[in-house]
Amino acid sequence: MLRSPLLTVMVQAALKAGRSLKRDFGEVEELQVSLKGPANFVSVADRKAEQIVFTELKKARPDYGFLMEESGAVEGADKSHRWLVDPLDGTTNFLHGIPHFAVSIGLERDGVPVAGVVYNPATDELFTAERGRGAFVNDRRLRVAARKELSAAVITCGIPHLARGNHDQFRRELAVVQSKAAGLRRFGAASLDLAWVAAGRFDGYWERHLSAWDIGAGIVLVREAGGFVTDLDGGDDMLASGGLIAGNEAIQRSLLATLKSV
Ligand code: IPD
Ligand code: CA
Ligand code: CA
């Protein structure tokens, strides 16, 4: 599979940060048994991974801007391109020694996500997509699942954390989706939820209260795998609103109608 120069840059940054996270993950697994726990260690690992991504991308595209989870926004001379970087998506999993986390790097062009890389170093799965060029896991082309009925669909979601989001609203939404879907999952890394929709493992996904760095890359993956993504109103405002619904055309539409009925 021939990657464009742009995607190559993104992949190199994600792999390098991923190698650093993987080394630190080994340490975190050990720290589970200590009373102090690995929290401080993890936030250092997180910032270290972000610094690696920043350095790599800055070197390759010096003029692009950045929006990073840990360091915030960095303006670029080029106002139409901006990287969306989550160096460690799935922090809670990482902290608990659960091997489901990722480096997520998206690229926005004039506000539209146009390229995305999501890398889980624990499984060595590298998800890549660029607008108009398809979506891949490692070298294999991705297609969203073909199931048309919610009653056959496995839907993933995000459960708002302690002291975050609207818990009552989530429970109402969960109740109605649970009454229609074959099964529900909560894996704990938004970028991988989207990558797994692109891979046809999940039929659909919804979540609120996300940030642009969680979803910038994954949106491109789903769309390039033939899927659909909208915000919770059916519009295109996912990055700003932080809410999204993804799936193949039929499941995305049913999920949108179901959630609107809440
Ligand atoms: C979180 C994960 C999680 C989602 C959270 C996000 P983080 O990102 O993507 O799945 O439910 O709301 O904030 O904090 O692990 O980078
Ligand atoms: Ca995140
Ligand atoms: Ca993060």
Among the atoms of ligand 1, which is closest to the Cα of residue 94? 15
Question: Which CATH number is 189's domain given?
Answer: 3.40.190.80
Domain count, the chain: 2
Q: Which residues are registered as beta bridge partners of 125?
A: 120
Q: Which two tokens stand for residue 150?
A: 């919610």
Q: How many angstroms from the chain centroid is the CA of residue 44?
A: 21
* 88 marked ligand binding residue: yes
Among the atoms of ligand 1, which is closest to the Cα of residue 189? 10
Say how many C-beta atoms besides its own lie within 10 A of residue 80's C-beta. Answer: 13
Q: The pTM is what?
A: 0.97
**DSSP state string for 203-215:** SEEEESS--HHHH
The per-residue pLDDT string of the chain (262 residues; one tens digit each, 9 = 90 and over) reads 789 999 999 999 999 999 999 999 999 888 877 777 788 888 999 999 999 999 999 999 999 999 999 999 999 999 999 999 999 999 999 999 999 999 999 999 999 999 999 999 999 999 999 999 999 999 999 999 999 999 999 999 999 988 888 999 999 999 999 999 999 999 999 999 999 999 999 999 999 999 999 999 999 999 999 999 999 999 999 999 999 999 999 999 999 999 999 9
Domain limit, last residue, from 123, 141, 159: 141
Range of the domain at 237: 150-260
How many Å lie between the centroid of ligand 1 and the Cα of residue 10? 21
Which pLDDT score is estimated for 160?
93
| 159, 227: one domain | yes
| 18, 101: one domain | yes
